[in-house]
Structure 1
Amino acid sequence: MSSAGRVRLLYPDDRHVLLDNGILQLTLSNPDGIVTGVRYHGVDNLLEVLNQESNRGYWDVVWNEPGGKGIFDVLKGTDFRVILEDESQVEVSFTRTWDSSLQGKVIPINIDKRFVVLRGSSGFYTYAIYEHMEGWPDFNLGETRVAFKLRKDKFQYMAMADDRQRVMPFPDDRMPERSQRLAYAEAVLLTNPINPELKGEVDDKYQYSCDNKDNKVHGWVSLNPPVGFWQITPSDEFRSGGPVKQNLTSHVGPTTLAMFHSAHYAGDDLVPKFRNGEYWKKVFGPVFIYLNSTLEKADPLVLWEDAKIQMHREVESWPYSFPLSEDFPKADQRGSISGRLLMQTYQQIQLMLDWLSQETLDHGKKNARLLRITVHTILCLKQGYQFWARADVDGFFSISNVRTGDYNLYAWVPGFIGDYKYDANITITPGSDINLGDILYEPPRDGPTVWEIGIPDRSAAEFYIPDPNPLYINKLYVNHPDKFRQYGLWERFAELYPDGDLVYTVGVSDYGKDWFFAQVPRRKPDSSYQGTTWQIKFKLDSVVQGAPYKLRVAIASSTLAELQVRFNDPRASPAHFTTGLFGRDNSVARHGIHGLHWLFTITVRSSWLSAGENTAFLTQPRSSGPFPGIMYDYIRFEGPAPSSPTPHKPSPSK
């Protein structure tokens, strides 16, 4: 990044404004506030000049009235004003004020889109303030983002992670004469691409999705001239869904997205619904569009490594000091929270129950140290702000630069089921530094483990993921840890189990080899689909009559699915347990290994069980197409709770 002269605000004509700092020129339509041009490193415009101006760089939303269909709305301003213009910074605003004459036409919120260019900065910032006034119409917010469409004649190399970057197809390659549409519109097989080396590959934007926690920088590289265009997200506070919510990044277009909120990999369960004319206000961003270049031979890796360095600088600078909206609090207007989450495990309780002598008692006291493990802690504010952190190996966590407000504190620990929720609201005030001390989480459990399948980590990644059909591959994911991102894996189930559904035998089967990663419908020879029933076979030496057993089923993903559970009678009607229809995260089709997480606890009557051989039948009956289905996270069968009285618990160890 080089220094340059002062920042200038120019008016090239009556329909545009231009922000120039000597490194780049940012052109915005007036009063719409659409990014129509980015001039940098001798290139007149990095954005797609063949597109209409309104389809180059823009904020948008997908919304609907209650019960109505989704509406795509590019957010165009109606008024322009200069917030600040001096030699170090220019900040401009494009606003649109809602009134009743717009009902049903545009989303019922006030919009204030901001753009900022700083002196010496090789890029620009954008953020927006959305406001729904009290008494205004109800609505649902399905998605909001910033999108940039880059020049296809220059940007053909995409990077989003060290091991997820490649030469990409051209947008023209997705046209009917060059491709074959697959099971849904986003996925195509490249049959006659402009770059012949890509022939036979699948292109699908969902193959480049990313968890929020890993989604800090992504973008494109032009090789001639060697220029990078990168979208950097310095904070997660304005995103929705938590650290493992997946979102789109960059994909064929060439398109770069700053996703703030979406229903992808979540469905309607994560869509904010504003009712009864409630007031709501939220700041999205700022995000940074970083531009870089090299004078030497074009090397995408050089520009990628530089973009990562810049990303770390932006993260360290958060919260920014330069945004001028009073709705964006600076560092001294925020607070922090810290503490330590400790785990009370069932093994520790059992150890205390098994005291047989003073020697055992002493041993129990010495070893009743509460487990400390990596933990995700999440603060959630009603207006939609979230702050999260990963605890250290001793369970200590700290979340800084938290906006003021009343929060809920949640936590979850890989390796254990359930969610911890702090039993009181936490109020953050300017300058507050709250230390919760030691807090204790007791994961749900009623008895000893009889058997278990999988790892409780909110993902199906540990189960068997098949090789893709060689006719439908993305070469990026060949011999790649994200094998699940290959297209069409759902079809492999019927190929691997042509004569019957999956049967898993506890103590014999290996869930990494014998448990298919998703319970999907079976495709029949006539191309229709039918539901499937998986079996878990297990032995019980004896059954404690009259004592309840428990089956805990953690679901990593569900799409228009139903889980029915029966014990030892596959035709029991009604089923011993059913979830009913649930889930709409579509993770199977969108190459995700998880979506929304669900936990079901099923009380199993002893009368359903037998001493000796037993079978649990897991039926997913929904079969409207290939995609209704379930990804399991973890299944645990617990025996009856011990009958011995539980002694007084020791205090958490330090």
Structure 2
Amino acid sequence: MRLHIVKCIICLASIKCISAAGPFFLQLNTTEHVIGNDLLNITIGPTYATKLFYKNKDLIVNAQGHYLSYRSFLNWTSARIYSQTDDSLDVVFEAPEGDFHWVIYHDLAGAYQYFVNKALPVLGEFRSLVRLDNTTFFNGNTTSKEGPLPTLAEIASGTKVQDETWQLPNGTYISEYDWADFIRDQEYYGVYGNEFGSWYIYPGKDEYNGDHLKQELLVHRKSRTGDVVLLNVLHRTYFMASSNDCFEVGKTWGPWLWYLNNGSTEDASNRAKQENQNWPYTLFNSSAYQSRGSVFGTLNIPDGRVAANAAVFLGDNNPNETTLDMGRFNYYTTYADSTGYFRFDNMRTGVYAIQAWSNGPPIGDLSATYLQNNIQVNRNESTDLSSQDFVTSARTVVRKIGDFDRKALGFRYGGAPREHALVEKCPANLTFVVGVSKVENRYSAQSSVGSWTVSFNLTASEVPKNSSAVLSVSLAGYSGGTSDVSVNERVVGMLGGSSILADPSLYRSATTAGEWHYFEFGVGDGTLQAGKNEATFKVMKSSRLGGFMWDALMLEWSGYP
């Protein structure tokens, strides 16, 4: 195997330019190495990559640079050429926890990267990232947000109210969490300036923990140094209650592409489309990675409808965690079409469970979750699940507020742009009269101590002889507090407290979802009557920016007829 010959000019311990006959790997000393091609080169030390030259400009300068971390930093003990072709070079940097690979092509401004686990501990956070020069990069781009990152001057003018969050003199807030987003929705994301852009493109997303609603911080500015940060969060729990996982030896993350350009979002988008077409990558010569199959089927509801637009998830077999909490293995998400049909392609072979739930209209009244275990995925085969039916209670709906979709959509501020302390705009006391009050008067979150009451009328013909009922409460997120739940002044249960773990969604700028919770409370015979009825949620204990994020409320007759 031949090494690429390189010619370099070294000045002040930094490589300014390199002329190479293709991708190259150069050892400077026992702890520093340089990899690159004619377009770029990066100097990698024992922990950080601190020099990144592209178009003859250092894009890191005084920033912290590129690194991997969990509770501590990964320290590279050795580096070597792992494999080589005429136009590519796979260089592996080894640490006790695992091997991190850089795949360099001769004509690519960037690098494919992947990580192979050897001894990562049980953890909740694992990430790769790059911290870049703040005079070169000053804008962020995600699927839902684009624009200038906060400046150091803006940050300095504010009062710090929590981690990386400041209140400005005009009363508004800036927070790094305003730049979080749903990770599986990202085709590409990055930071850019007038001449340079740095992007992560991660097609497939097999290895991410969590389901469709997994959200993470993607870009931001560090307040202490001003570094512009581009994150590739491989496993994390920033908007979850908890998710610590133990990984098998050999588990891989990636490959993904770290891509550099002239700052054009259009070019990054086009590159992402190209990468999706090329996934799964042939550059990763692993039998486990390359061994893939497909799964397809149709989901129905026993009342004769199809599960149109349902969220569909393939994950752990015989699960003992929620879909958002899963993270040890590989996970796949999609949505059913208008006929209830779904399909997963290029899944790694193995045994999975399929779960599905309402993603809103036209089945927004469906509170049930579909589950089927022992889904076998074989190499180069398509597993036909044919027609599958949800198991439902077949209860009769009395009244419903919101649509079951595990999100706060349909409520005021639900799905709004991320904003710190938005929950403080929700009232402590509220009465919502079904059929009378405007939809915008039902708010997405209840935080302060006080009572929210849902008032509704029932005609005599609507009330059956056996009027026992079930009140279903679906929370899009829960950030602490306790609430008594009563129907017509009879307490039927309690929300929150020590029975469920709190997530940080409400105080980390989330407006759509945190960690989903579903409860059913029995309502005794005779509690509901003809005329006026009330369901009341009385917050007994809360904290600032804590509370309950609503998904849906539904009352059903359980003893009908």
The letter of the residue matching 1:203 is I
1:558 matched to which residue of 2? 478
Q: Any conservation in 2 of the 1:283–1:327 contact (CA below 8 Å)?
A: no
Residue in 1 that maps onto 2:213: 244
Number of the residue aligned with 2:376: 427
Shift, 1:41, TM fit: 1.4
Matched, 1:587 2:505: yes
Taking the TM superposition and a 5 Å limit, the aligned residue runs for 1:410-489 are: 410-414=355-359, 415-442=364-391, 444-465=392-413, 483-489=416-422
Superposition map of 1:566-585 within 5 A: 566-569=486-489, 575-581=491-497, 582-585=500-503
TM-aligned CA deviation for residue 327 of structure 1: 6.6
Structure that is richer in strand per residue: 2
Cα distance change of structure 1 residues 372 and 558 upon mapping to structure 2, 3 Å threshold: closer
1:379 aligns with 2:318: no
Preserved contact between residue 449 and residue 639 of structure 1 (Cα < 8 Å): yes
**1:26 and 2:5 correspond:** no
Provide the residue aligned with 2:277 in structure 1. Answer: 316
Deviation of 1:200 (Å): 7.2
Residue 132 (structure 1) shift: 4.5
SS in 2 for 1:305: helix
Distance in structure 2 (CA, Å) of the matches to 1:200 and 1:89 = 53
Q: Show structure 2 runs of 5+ residues with no match.
A: 1-19, 222-226, 318-327
* Cα distance in structure 2, aligned partners of 1:621 and 1:200: 29
Question: Within 5 A, what are the aligned runs for 1:112-123?
Answer: 112-123=99-110
Give ranges in structure 1 of 5+ residues lacking alignment: 62-71, 98-109, 134-138, 192-198, 294-299, 349-369, 467-481, 522-530, 644-654
Q: Does 1:339 align with 2:297?
A: yes
Cα distance per residue 1:363-392 (max 9 Å; x no partner) = xxxxxxx33511222111473210122222
Letter in 2 for 1:289: W
Q: 1:131-180 CA distances to partner (integer Å, 9 max, x unpaired)?
A: 459xxxxx64111111110101111122223x6211222346434xx332
Distance 1:76 1:172 in 2: 34
Q: TM-score, normalised by structure 1?
A: 0.75
Q: Distance in 1 between matches of 2:370 and 2:530?
A: 39
In structure 2, the CA distance between the partners of 1:436 and 1:289, relative to structure 1 (3 Å rule), is same
* 1:492 has 2:425 as partner: yes
Mapping of 1:227-376 within 5 angstroms? 227-252=196-221, 253-268=227-242, 271-274=243-246, 279=248, 281-293=250-262, 303-324=264-285, 326=286, 329-330=289-290, 333-345=291-303, 348=304, 370-376=305-311
SS class of match (1:425):
strand
Per-residue deviation, 1:185: 2.2
Shift of 1:307: 0.2
Please give the alpha-carbon distance, in whole angstroms, between the structure 2 residues aligned to 1:33 and 1:127: 17
Residue 16 (str. 1) matches residue 32 (str. 2): yes
**1:186 lines up with 2:121 in the alignment:** no
Structure 2 residue aligned with 1:610:
529
Measured against aligned partners, the alpha-carbon deviations of 1:543-601 in whole angstroms (never above 9, x if no partner) come to 445442111111111012334211222xx5xx321244224222111121211111111
Query: Please, what is the CA RMSD of the aligned residues?
Result: 2.4
What letter corresponds to residue 59 of structure 2 in structure 1?
L
Q: Would you say how many aligned residue pairs link Structure 1 and Structure 2?
A: 518
Q: How far apart are residue 484 of structure 1 and its match?
A: 4.3
Alpha-carbon distance, 1:612 to partner: 2.0
Q: Partner of 1:46 in structure 2? A: 59
Aligned: 1:75 with 2:74:
yes
Tell me the SS of whatever aligns to 1:320.
coil
**Cα distance in structure 2, aligned partners of 1:19 and 1:395:** 48
Task: Provide TM-score, normalisation by structure 2.
Answer: 0.86
- For 1:92, the aligned partner's letter is V
Q: Give 1:243 shift.
A: 1.4
Please give the per-residue CA displacement for 1:219-243, whole angstroms capped at 9, x wherever unaligned: 12222xx111111111221111111
Q: What does residue range 627-638 of structure 1 map to in structure 2 within 5 Å?
A: 627-638=545-556
Q: In structure 1, how many angstroms separate the alpha carbons of the residues matched to 2:494 and 2:122?
A: 29
- Checking the alignment, whether the CA contact within 8 Å between 2:307 and 2:336 is kept in structure 1 is no
Letter in 2 for 1:519: Q
Q: 1:7 to 1:421 in 2, by over 3 A?
A: same
CA distance in 1, matches of 2:302, 2:51: 57
Q: Give the drift of 1:632.
A: 1.0
Greater CA drift, 392-401 or 580-589: 580-589
Q: In the alignment, is residue 513 of structure 1 matched against residue 440 of structure 2?
A: yes
Rounded to whole Å, the distance in 2 between the matches of 1:328 and 1:41 is 37
Cα distance in structure 2, aligned partners of 1:202 and 1:609: 45
Contact 1:454 1:463 in 2 (8 A): yes
Matches of 2:237 and 2:38, distance apart in 1:
40
Shift of 1:514: 1.4
Q: Is the 8 A contact 1:263 1:585 kept in 2?
A: no
| Maintained 8 Å contact 2:297/2:341 | yes
The amino acid that maps onto 1:380 is G
Could you tell me whether the CA contact under 8 Å between 1:409 and 1:426 is conserved in 2? yes
Equivalences for residues 386-401 of structure 1 within 5 A: 386-401=331-346
Whether the aligned pair in 2 keeps the contact of 1:557 and 1:583 (CA below 8 Å) is: no
1:117 Cα offset (Å): 0.8
Q: Deviations over 1:328-371 (max 9, x none)?
A: 512xx2111111122233xx5xxxxxxxxxxxxxxxxxxxxx33
Q: Name the amino acid aligned to 1:493.
A: C
User: Are the counterparts in 2 of residues 446 and 550 from structure 1 also a CA contact under 8 Å?
Assistant: no
Instruction: Answer with 377-386 or 307-316: which moved more.
Output: 377-386
> Deviation per CA, 1:184-219, whole angstroms, max 9, x where unpaired?
12211355xxxxxxx876321111111123122111
Q: Which amino acid aligns with 2:228?
A: P
Cα pair distance change 1:545/1:562, threshold 3 Å? farther
Tell me if structure 1 keeps the 8 A contact 2:296–2:342: yes
Please tell me the residue identity of whatever aligns with 1:334: R
- Structure 1 pair 201–290 and aligned structure 2 pair: CA distance change class (3 A): farther
CA distance in 1, matches of 2:464, 2:492: 19
Q: Distance in 2 between matches of 1:388 and 1:492?
A: 34
- Aligned equivalent of 1:216: 187
Q: Distance in 1 between matches of 2:33 and 2:368?
A: 50
Q: Is the CA contact 2:80–2:93 (under 8 Å) kept in the aligned structure 1?
A: yes
1:272 to partner: Cα distance: 2.8
Task: Give the Cα separation in 2 of the matches to 1:425 and 1:455.
Answer: 30
Deviation at 1:86, TM superposition (A): 4.3
User: 1:411-452 deviations in whole A, cap 9, x for unaligned?
Assistant: 12322434544433112222222111111224x344322211
Contact 1:622 1:628 in 2 (8 A): no
Q: Deviations over 1:240-283 (max 9, x none)?
A: 11112111111123110111221122112xx1344xxx955521
In 1, the alpha carbon distance for the partners of 2:371 and 2:477 equals 26
Q: Following the alignment from structure 2 to structure 1, what is the Cα–Cα distance between the partners of residues 371 and 393?
A: 19
Q: Say whether residues 1:59 and 2:68 are aligned partners.
A: yes
Give distance in 2, aligned partners of 1:564 and 1:374. 34
Paired residues of 2:289 and 2:348 also in contact (CA < 8 A): yes
Larger Rg: 1
Distance 2:65 2:260 in 1: 16
